[in-house]
Amino acid sequence: MNYNKTNNLLGWITFFVSTLVYVLTLEPTASYWDCGEFIAAAYKMQIVHQPGAPLFLMLQNIFSNLAFGNKESLAYWMNFGSAVSSGLTIMFLFWTITALARKVLWKNNTEITQSSLIQIMGAGLVGALAYAVSDTFWFSAVESEVYAMSSLCTAIVFWAILKWEAHVDEPRSDKWLLFIAYIMGLSIGVHLLNLLTIPALALVVYFKRTKSPTNGGVFKTLLIGIVIVAFVLWGIIQYLIKFAAYFDLFFVNSLSLGFGSGVLCFMILVVGGLTYGIFYSIKHVKPHLNIILLSICFIIFGYGSFAMILVRAKADPTLNNSDPDNAFSFLSYLNREQYGEEPLVKGPYFTSKVTDRKEGGNTYIKGEEKYENIGKKYNYIYDRETVFPRIYSSDAGRGHPQFYRSWLNMGESEEPTFGNNLNFFFTYQIGHMYARYFFWNFVGRQNDQKGDGSFTEGNWITGIKPIDQARLGGQDALPDSVKTDPSNNKFYGLPLILGLIGALWHFKRNQKDAGIVGLLFFFTGLAIVLYLNQTPLQPRERDYAYAGSFYAFAIWIGLGVAGIADILQKKTNPKTAGLIATVVGLLAAPILMAKDGWDDHDRSTKYVARDLAKNYLESCAPNAILFTYGDNDTYPLWYVQEVENFRPDVRIVNLSLLSADWYVRQMKDKVNESAPLPITMKDSQFKQGTRDGLSFLDRGFKEPIELSSILDVLLSDNPNDQVEYQDGSRSNYLFTKNFKLTVNREEVLKNKVVPAKWDGNIVDTMVWNYNKDYVSKAELAMFDILVHNNWKRPIYFATTVPNSNYMGLDNYLINEGFALKLMPIKFNKTEEEMRMGESVNTEALYNNTMNKFVWGDLAHARYLDHESYGMLSLIVNNFSTLSQSLYEEGKKEEAKKALARCLEVIPQRIYSLGESRVLYFLCKQLYQAGLTDKANALLERNATYVDGLLKYYIAIAKTKPNLEMQNIQMGTQVIYSSGELAKEYKQEKQAKAMEKSLNEIETMFSGTQGK
């Protein structure tokens, strides 16, 4: 009784302590990546990107009610939902650790000793609190993302299997297995990671049900566990829906019944079959069959949260990703078909060439009255393939082939081998994309800059100088900018050592349970590495995928207390040993991790994502069309529109999604206060399988062709406007890249598209060269908008949209802030003069920047995460462009105000070499404006930062030539240019300092090259 009371009390204490930590460091609004989309979707019950997270959205919607109608605090309360989920995870982890420790330290039918109680509770506290403040888990705990709730599902099922084990000999103990099945079903509506606990759970059942376990039995159990994972992942999640879809196909296309009739019939068959099976198992006393069928039922019950996707898709909400309102679109949504698949068993090398293709199944979409077959799926055949492909991506646009060659030290013409394949797997996929993350959490972290293989960005450190020196090429010390970085965390490897002690103790004292924890560690870590088969240069760090593995290791960190106590008992009494071990464990893991980790997880003063999203929208005139591209220039905008109702008149068009037919259809509807886009294409002209990608075939037209005529040809069903391919298929094609668009001057003036001062620069015809070799649905829709908008709605491109998506319209895009406005104007100036001068609408940019924009409390935020400080270059460039334009127009006082405002807005800390480049230009404008003291101060601060980094890069290059060559060249150029700038404005002190720095760098670099 005392044990239970203590265990329960301390469990709840860990919940309140960890939740308090998360609430104190909680982000007060939406953050970057998926959070903006999730919050917006949860608020209005909408559809997020594939494969969805319906249960997560519904639960977050409940937490949103705590805002009591205050839309600006709604995101905070959804983030609070993640904090609570995370706190509960820690509580269940505590109970899991104490349950495992108890099995070793408290023998059945004996009275628990005080020393054993101290060790058990100490283990729970140390392990649970260590995971609570681990880098990866803490990051997800303070934002509205699925990973906190996913971790909770993992914690509950692992705790529940130990409860089943403890009560297995009692009547009705299998209720715990049904509970686990239900939680797993529910977890599908959050994230699939929880399914990877199944092999470990299977092993618990095997050890408890088998009196004499054998190695063969263990192996068979693992295989059964893997089969169960596959059955749930494919059999229930995918094939259950696939069978329903093909039933519907038969009922609709063959029997001429309504859409959904086949699905209903299939549901009746499944329910009837399971019901019959359950009654059969009871009647014939087949307990194993009974528990299997009941478990399937409970998984399906939990999985039923996905009904929300279908129901809400039918309602056509604003955010309706993939529009999964029928059986086949829902199946595509669940299968994540828009993201493609990575080869796992067999596949190409990155240099392999396609030699043939093999037909797969048919692809169906919903038509007016029946499902339509829009063609076959194809699997490509390559000239060179390998088993276990790891270096397979030939995507040159993302730099994959070049990265493979660089990472593997391959020559430009060298063909990859299976040895290269394994090398990449072990060194990059395991070493860089898993072990590095593991060490972040339990050894130490250099900084939070995104690491793509560099020794200076996103790496791990110990804080022990000799070890770090040896690992980082013998360099003497990190530069001050890295050492003072909030995300520079030194754990000295103590949590790792504690976990290793715990693992050794566990394997020594209870090999079965240690094997179960080890299996959990493997399947939620390295098994994910095997399955994901990640390509290099990921857009963000992926440590969140391995949180379950870190959870398992935290169990061993806790058990390290028992291991240390065992050692200390040789010198002192058991009670004292337990107390000392607990204190040592708390100091070595959670307290140390919290001390160093607090400053880089405290997001309580950060508003960057929300406020910059408002700046994007405020850059646009009323009723504008704003083209965006990536997650971080779209999701926060969706959040501020859908939740805070900010600038709902602007229509956000994500170009990454515009190639999907469902998204184009949605653009033809009214959304919030935004009228439908002027897209005239019929749905049948751009449905999936129709005009998915139109090639360019040059027909020799030298003169520009009217865009409306080009669009007509691209949309034509006339065989004369199409080309026939070798397989007999026909397709429209782009016959010229020389475009023109006749301008209706009256509409331009009427709608005030152009500032009054530029009325004389309005052209009769816009002429440009299209910049792509193909036309996707995205460009097709954009052509349609340009032709039929007739300048009634302002058109903008977000400044973060890649130039390749401008379609060649660069010279007609005018800077008005965080968006470039399309204007039919031309100036009698060189291209360089246009870029630096009149390609900026100075009045609009000044009004937006000085009067409308908000800056996310950048200068005073306690911590800026990588995505937030990554926006600093964009912000500084905005001010720099404004001040330069004002200066050239003779508006020197306004230029001074803009520069002063910039210095108020940006933080004193410099975060990256990229930022230092734009700060150099800011220094130049400060000198121009006569703000010499401020220019000198910024120049010196910038140079000190770059100088420290350069010497660090060069020190590394002593043993790793060319590793940081690009950074060395970039930094050297900043120092050199800064010196020249100081000379130009006769600042001798600064010029000499730059010259000295440059000489030192050149001397160091020469020594490096000589060696």
| DSSP codes joined into one string, 466-511 | HHHHHHTTT-S---HHHHT-TT-EE-TTHHHHHHHHHHHHHHHH-H
Query: CB neighbours (10 Å) of residue 627?
Result: 24
Q: Which of 363, 342, 321 is nearest to 660 (CA)?
A: 321
Beta-bridge partners for 372: 365
* Contact predicate 532/122, CB 8 Å: no
What is the predicted pLDDT for the residue at 965? 76
Q: For every residue of 902-950, which 3-state class applies, written as one string?
A: HHHHCCCCCCCHHHHHHHHHHHHHHHHCCCHHHHHHHHHHHHHHHHHHH
What is the predicted pLDDT for the residue at 959? 63
* Contact predicate 146/188, CB 8 Å: no
For 773, residues 6+ apart whose C-beta sits below 8 A from its C-beta are: 695, 696
What is the rounded CA–CA span in Å between residue 28 and residue 26?
6
Q: Which of 793, 825, 850 is the last residue of a domain?
A: 850
**Which tokens in the block code for residue 187?**
């977890």
What is the rounded CA–CA span in Å between residue 666 and residue 669?
5
Q: Which of 600, 634, 653 is the last residue of a domain?
A: 600
973 lies in some domain: no
Peptide bond into 401 cis (omega under 30): no
One domain, residues 7 and 25: yes
Bridge-based pairing state of the strands 651-654 and 444-445: unpaired
What is the predicted pLDDT for the residue at 414? 92
Q: Is 879 exposed, middle or buried (0-12, 13-18, 19+ CB in 10 A)?
A: buried
What is the predicted pLDDT for the residue at 1? 64
What is the predicted pLDDT for the residue at 830? 56
Amino acid letter, residue 95: W
Q: What is the total count of domains within the chain?
A: 2
Bridge-based pairing state of the strands 346-348 and 385-387: antiparallel
Q: How many residues does the chain have?
A: 1011
Q: Is 162 exposed, middle or buried (0-12, 13-18, 19+ CB in 10 A)?
A: buried
One domain, residues 511 and 616: no
* Contact predicate 11/99, CB 8 Å: no
Cα angle 303, 246, 372 (rounded to 5 degrees) comes to: 120
Q: Is 56 exposed, middle or buried (0-12, 13-18, 19+ CB in 10 A)?
A: buried
One domain, residues 614 and 581: no
946 lies in some domain: no
What is the rounded CA–CA span in Å between residue 557 and residue 100?
12
Beta-bridge partners for 362: 376
340 lies in some domain: no
DSSP annotation of 649 reads: T
Beta-bridge partners for 706: 740
User: What are the distances in angstroms from CA 838 to CA 741, 926, 966?
Assistant: 22, 21, 33
One domain, residues 555 and 669: no
What is the predicted pLDDT for the residue at 960? 62
Amino acid letter, residue 804: S
* Contact predicate 648/641, CB 8 Å: yes
In the chain, the largest separation of any two C-alpha atoms, in whole Å, equals 98
Task: Measure the CA dihedral 329/331/336/339, to 10°.
Answer: -50
819 lies in some domain: yes
664 lies in some domain: yes
What is the predicted pLDDT for the residue at 327? 93
Q: Is 292 exposed, middle or buried (0-12, 13-18, 19+ CB in 10 A)?
A: middle
Q: Which helix (H) or strand (E) holds 359?
A: strand 354-366
User: What are the distances in angstroms from CA 872 to CA 612, 876, 882, 900?
Assistant: 11, 6, 15, 16
One domain, residues 640 and 582: no
Q: Which of 306, 325, 326, 360 is nearest to 248 (CA)?
A: 326
Q: Where are the alpha helices (DSSP H) in 791-856?
A: 831-836, 842-847
DSSP annotation of 364 reads: E
What is the predicted pLDDT for the residue at 954? 82
* Contact predicate 455/958, CB 8 Å: no
For the segment 657-711, what is each residue's pLDDT rounded down to a tens digit?
999 999 999 999 999 999 999 999 999 999 998 999 999 999 989 899 999 999 9
625-628 β-sheet, strand order: 651-654, 625-628, 795-798, 819-822, 813-815
74 lies in some domain: yes
Q: Phi/psi of residue 382, each to 5°?
A: -115, 160
**Residue stretches of the chain with pLDDT short of 70:** 1, 451, 453-456, 471-477, 828-838, 959-964, 1007-1011
One domain, residues 593 and 730: no
Q: For every residue of 208-260, which 3-state class applies, written as one string?
A: HHCCCCCHHHHHHHHHHHHHHHHHHHHHHHHHHHHHHHHHHHHHHHHCCCCCC
Amino acid letter, residue 182: Y
Q: Which of 782, 816, 850 is the last residue of a domain?
A: 850
Single pTM value for the model: 0.93
What is the predicted pLDDT for the residue at 377? 84
What 3-state class would DSSP assign to 356?
A: strand
**Which tokens in the block code for residue 878?**
């905005």
30 lies in some domain: yes
Dihedral angle sign, alpha carbons of residues 90, 92, 95, 97: negative
428 lies in some domain: no
* Contact predicate 299/184, CB 8 Å: yes
One domain, residues 776 and 807: yes
One domain, residues 619 and 587: no
One domain, residues 583 and 727: no
Domain range enclosing 75 = 2-310+492-600
One domain, residues 566 and 629: no
For 159, residues 6+ apart whose C-beta sits below 8 A from its C-beta are: 92, 93, 95, 96, 99
Half-sphere exposure (CA, 13 Å, Cβ side) for 270? Answer: 19
Amino acid letter, residue 580: I
Bridge-based pairing state of the strands 625-628 and 795-798: parallel
**Residue with token string 């331009």:** 748
Query: CB neighbours (10 Å) of residue 395?
Result: 12
For 965, residues 6+ apart whose C-beta sits below 8 A from its C-beta are: 957
For 230, residues 6+ apart whose C-beta sits below 8 A from its C-beta are: none
Q: Which of 388, 387, 429, 386 is nearest to 407 (CA)?
A: 429
What is the rounded CA–CA span in Å between residue 520 and residue 225?
12
* Contact predicate 86/141, CB 8 Å: yes
What is the rounded CA–CA span in Å between residue 496 and residue 860?
34
**Residue with token string 């730059």:** 994
Span between the terminal Cα atoms of the chain, in Å: 71
One domain, residues 518 and 617: no
One domain, residues 550 and 683: no
